[in-house]
Amino acid sequence: MSNLKTITPGHAAALVRKGAVLIDVREAHEHAAEHIPGARHYALSQIDGKHPIEAGDAVLIFHCKSGGRTNLNAGRLAGAAGRCEAYVLGGGIDAWRRAGLPTTAAEKREHRTEGGILSRLSNLFR
């Protein structure tokens, strides 16, 4: 059993504003497609070989896509967190996005719709 508590996206965002670090445990292709700005990427498949802690870290918040991977591996993640205070983001990046918090994919979508080729083409036929 793990000592990691599950927290809401709102609570996680508040902790991040105070210096907590988000750790994205999804695979590289998932992180590349969409991630939370500022989140460090440490794939769960390699977390035993690479530790996510850096100098000055005090609070870590682990997240995946929907919360399943982090909950199933909470014991491993607690071990990887060492002496840091650590949490799991309930609902993962999906819940973060539903809470209206920023992700890189959302920023890309906004950019594409504002000045993308489809937007410009649709203006030609108005």
CATH, residue 62: 3.40.250.10
Residue 75 sits at the vertex; the CA angle it makes with 74 and 80, to the nearest 5 degrees, is: 95
For the sheet containing 5-7, what is the strand order? 5-7, 85-89, 59-63, 21-24, 40-41
Interval 84-108 mean pLDDT: 91
Amino acid occupying residue 13 = A
64 is catalytic: yes
Task: Give the structural domain span for 112.
Answer: 5-124
Interval 103-112 mean pLDDT: 63
Q: How far apart are CA 30 and CA 40, in angstroms?
A: 13
Is the pLDDT at 111 greater than 50? The verdict is no
Interval 56-72 mean pLDDT: 96
Per-residue pLDDT band at 112 (split at 50, 70, 90): very low
Q: Which among 61, 62, 64, 66 has a CA at the least distance from the CA of 91?
A: 66
Is the pLDDT at 34 greater than 80? The verdict is yes
pTM: 0.81
Domain count, the chain: 1
Catalytic residue among 16, 20, 23, 64: 64
